[in-house]
Structure 1
Amino acid sequence: MEKNIDSFEQLTTRIGRLRMRRCGPILALTIFVAYAPTSSYEEEEVEAFYMDLEKFDREDHAFYKIIIGDFNAKVGPRRAPEEHHIGTHGLQWNDQGERLSEFIMTTKTIHENSQFQKPSSLRRTWESPGGGYRNEIDHIIVNKRFCLTDVAVVPKFYKGPDHRLLRGRFSFTRSAEKAAKFRERNPRTIINWDRFTTLVGFCEDFAMDNIDEESHCGRGFVLLSAFQ
């Protein structure tokens, strides 16, 4: 593993970057390690952190990109169809979680903790002294959905006075790489159902003179609603 390390840089006081060289069939990999400001910090500092992280992610062109760290954010389960970057599993949301979700959507990455169904004991990554409070505030984010096969806390393993070790299991294969490249060339159409419903109502409000006009309207709103 050590011989495949290309570089490690401390980009800011809160963001580090580890770059791995290509190793056989495994393409280049970049891992960002992040520590977000807590809610006690000014909003400007929180925004500066996310803007920096977004900039570094955008400028890095590795095939695989992984962002891990303590975001002091609670991300619950998906609440609407358009939140396709969030999975269907999670504990609860808070304001920091909303900001993290916005970052994930902007960077077109995937929140992996919420992709896997786990008992709460294997989700909570932080515990207050004395065990009175427990939260899931450490997260793993990836740019390729297929590369991560599991996310869970390692029981009885603490990485500090209050944090538990969060482990992600990865699988990098040539077939999965080809599948990802195919999906990038042929992206899946995402329908905006709110827009679809609005356009259906619009067409229903107008009487059509003939079947051709009605058919034309139907094709129009279906095509329009297919793009967000």
Structure 2
Amino acid sequence: MADTMTMRVTRYEPDLDHEPRTQDFSIPLRDNWVVLDGLNYIKDQLDGTLSYRWSCRMGICGSCGMMVDDEPVLTCATFLVDYAPGPIRVEPLANFPVVRDLVVDISDFIERLPRVSPWLVRHEDEPVDDGEYLQTPGELAEYEQYSMCINCMLCYSACPVYGLDPGFIGPAAIALAQRYNLDSRDQGAADRLDVLIHPDGLWGCTFVGECTTACPKDVDPAGAIQRYKLTAAIETLKSYVEGPS
């Protein structure tokens, strides 16, 4: 196996470039190096102007998501040897505006996330003297999978619906809403359903399933959305049968 690899990186400086371009760099090919190591080598040794995001290097912060050979991945968990002999292509996440080089603007997601109230909603708080809101292991297991989301945006980059319709609220937001709906301590499910029952919410999803494939934490946003659709359908039927309250 060769001891070097070509990394083909997207470059874009808005003040100078009319559109993104690519630049090739020769980097060491080492068994224990991930894509992020290659980018750090470029920035430290070859071109200090290269811009990208990263923080923890442990698959927790979610900030190093990029497209590697057309697939959205966490670059801190994607090994270079899996793409040998190369070249390996590294691009910014799809479906987001590019700020510079490999940095994308996720403000659209940040602005819409509060719409689904991704926090515990309590309409009636118990007295403090009554103690904590305890849960059984079974109640925790009900929503634990959906609580693993790290907001890496890989699911949005993989989602063809979001790519075609930026108004779609998207898989991570809906999965996070479902995480709190299933929490025994929460009382905000009806409020979230009012937000997500519209075409740009639950029903915008066509169940392609690419969001689940791309998710590095096995959250299964596609499954969360389909489960949420069933809940929405049942609640709608109840409202017709029971009539206005």
With normalisation by structure 2, the TM-score equals 0.23
Q: Per chain length, whose mean CA-contact separation is higher, i.e. which structure has more relative contact order (CA < 8 Å, sep 6+)?
A: 2
With normalisation by structure 1, the TM-score equals 0.24
**Bigger fraction of residues in strand:** 1
